[in-house]
Structure 1
Amino acid sequence: MWTVRHLNSMRRTPVFYKRRINANTHLPFCAKLGSAPMLRDHYEILIFLPQFTNGTHRRLGPSSPRPSTSMKWSTTMYFELKDATATILAKSRRHDELCDLPLGLISSDCEAYDIQATAQDALGSTCRGYAIVGTSEMSRRTLGLSKPIYSEIPTSALLVGAKDFRLPPGTIGAQCEFVFTMRRPFPDAGEAIDRDSAADAVLECRPAIGIIGRRTRRVFMGDQPAIADFGLHTATICGDRPGKLSLADLADIEITTFLFKQTVFSAKAASVMDNPLNAVVWLANELSARGKQLKSDDVVATGSCTTVLQVWAGQHLAADFGPLGQLECVFT
């Protein structure tokens, strides 16, 4: 049995997660994990080989011998202490650094959202709302997601009217999206969660550019690693308040993006779950299932209505949201 144990804890019960793995496949990876600089201060890796050591444990290192491929392994890997992983993620986000966490071993959405919530607490910034990623088929395909995911937006990551943005390490790209501001809590007690009730709960809608990225050096595809890693959210850049707009016409808006004034992509707002308001409905249902609700003045970033654009320092991105106005940003 493989065990990854936190060095600063006396807790004996695994509280992080466990998952069946193939030891022949994961032995080199486990050795790498044990020698990773960022994790060396947090975890020790032990291997339990009852067939050969009669129940004794020995520490695994990079030079440890590989077991015979003729052996049949049925092993369980444990990672203790979600808060240790969350603390590393929060530190990486706060200091714009990449880390070496094995997020690909997370086995459920529930565990991933638990890690994300703990990381948000460790980040120490007030929640300003929520960002959704993967609400269009194009963006899910690009990011390797099977469904939409969400994360809190820290106050420090909600930028209103910013004209330039410094891209941190691990940036994946930029997405053009809508940001709703809630007029009231949603849903109210006993209120149906549908598009009509969501429209009633929304105060305004703005154009926005969302920056998404990872905090890990290694790219882990799939829903759980992305959820744990702050839902891939980096920053949300909001445009100015628009004039009066009927939410009934929202799905018909066409969005055009430009890099260096050259048209790159065009898409309809309806590519976000058939209507951007459906993103609010989806999020309200997700939060309700976890005993939460949207609050007054919360913002909801809907996720990309175009494909995710790979951007680099020195590029100028502009987006035309039709009646909602234009938005531009220079990346540094």
Structure 2
Amino acid sequence: MHANSLDDLAIALARNRASGTVSGLAFAGIVSRLDADEVQLAALDAYNSDLKGHAMAGTTPACQSILGLHAPIFGPIASRDFFNEPGHVHLPQGIIGAQCELAFTIGNSFPLKGDEIDRESIAETIVACRPTIGLLGRRAFGAPHSDIIAIADFGLQVATICGPAIRVDWDGLDQVQMTARINGEIVVTAKGSAILGHPLEAVALLARELASQGKQINAGEVVTTGSWSPILQVLPGQTLSVEFETIGKVSCTFD
């Protein structure tokens, strides 16, 4: 795909994200992961937002099936779409649904050269854990659902809504139960083991992918795990509350 076409696609994606709309866009020329990564980076720049962190998606088979993915992906968390439990969030056009997940704040840049990428080393660099609702959506219609197109389209990330930060027992995190309620009614429960066997494995997967590109998770950045349960459809007027036992709760009403 020609560089000018990549730039045009990135600008169109950013414009649609900013306006909360969808339109038909020319994804056909994206033929590689490199193309997708370039569009994602250029789109974030055109969106005029700093990088707050990284949002994982498709970290369970059920979520991959819903999103049309073959493997987990990640996209940028834009600072302008990162919220500290705001109470109300607008649902844009193209919304897919909500992820019930955790967000980890990284204290030291990771991985550094020579670092082992495993649960123990990751746990040592995390300084906070927050119950989180992640919104996913698309900025275009008519494009086939594939990993590289989803990556180009901001990794499908729309917004990240976080509750209070606490420290947790990493060893037992895979057995923590999550309960999601819509308008007070339980709609789904799940355990942390749904995320690649343990939620910290989502951070490990991200760290390995960034390291393969000569990059790292920077100090202060946030990493989300992807949804513990299948992605939930949410509608205007509904309130989604997600509670993680021993960790905390986050709620949001959608407009």
How far the C-alpha of 1:219 sits from its partner, in A, is 5.0
d(CA) in 2 for partners of 1:161, 1:260: 16
Q: Deviations over 1:281-316 (max 9, x none)?
A: 100111111111011110001100000001110111
Q: Which one has more relative contact order, counting CA pairs under 8 Å at least 6 apart?
A: 2
Q: What letter matches 1:294 in structure 2?
A: I
Asked which structure has the greater CA Rg, the reply is 1
State which of 207, 221, 244 in structure 2 corresponds to 1:298: 221
> SS of the counterpart of 2:140?
coil
d(CA) in 1 for partners of 2:29, 2:146: 11
Partner of 1:116: 40
Asked if the contact 2:57–2:225 (Cα under 8 Å) also holds between the matched residues in 1, the reply is yes
Partner of 2:197: 274
Partner of 1:175: 99
Partner of 2:147: 223
Asked if the contact 1:209–1:236 (Cα under 8 Å) also holds between the matched residues in 2, the reply is yes
Runs of 4+ in structure 1 displaced over 4 angstroms?
none
> SS of the counterpart of 2:207?
helix
If the length of structure 1 is used for normalisation, what is the TM-score?
Answer: 0.75
Asked if the contact 1:251–1:269 (Cα under 8 Å) also holds between the matched residues in 2, the reply is yes
Unmatched runs of 5 consecutive residues or more in structure 1: 1-13, 17-79
If the length of structure 2 is used for normalisation, what is the TM-score?
Answer: 0.96
Asked if the contact 2:85–2:251 (Cα under 8 Å) also holds between the matched residues in 1, the reply is no
Q: What letter matches 2:62 in structure 1?
A: M
d(CA) in 2 for partners of 1:284, 1:232: 19
Supply the RMSD in Å over aligned alpha carbons.
Answer: 1.3
Partner of 2:248: 325
d(CA) in 2 for partners of 1:109, 1:133: 16
Q: What letter matches 1:227 in structure 2?
A: I
Q: What letter matches 1:287 in structure 2?
A: L
d(CA) in 2 for partners of 1:249, 1:204: 16
Q: After TM superposition, list the pairs within 5 Å mapping 1:1-332 onto structure 2.
A: 15-16=2-3, 80-218=4-142, 220-242=144-166, 244-332=167-255
**How many aligned positions are there?**
255
Residue range with higher mean Cα deviation, 130-139 or 90-99: 90-99
Asked if the contact 2:27–2:143 (Cα under 8 Å) also holds between the matched residues in 1, the reply is no
> SS of the counterpart of 1:323?
coil
Residue range with higher mean Cα deviation, 226-235 or 101-110: 101-110
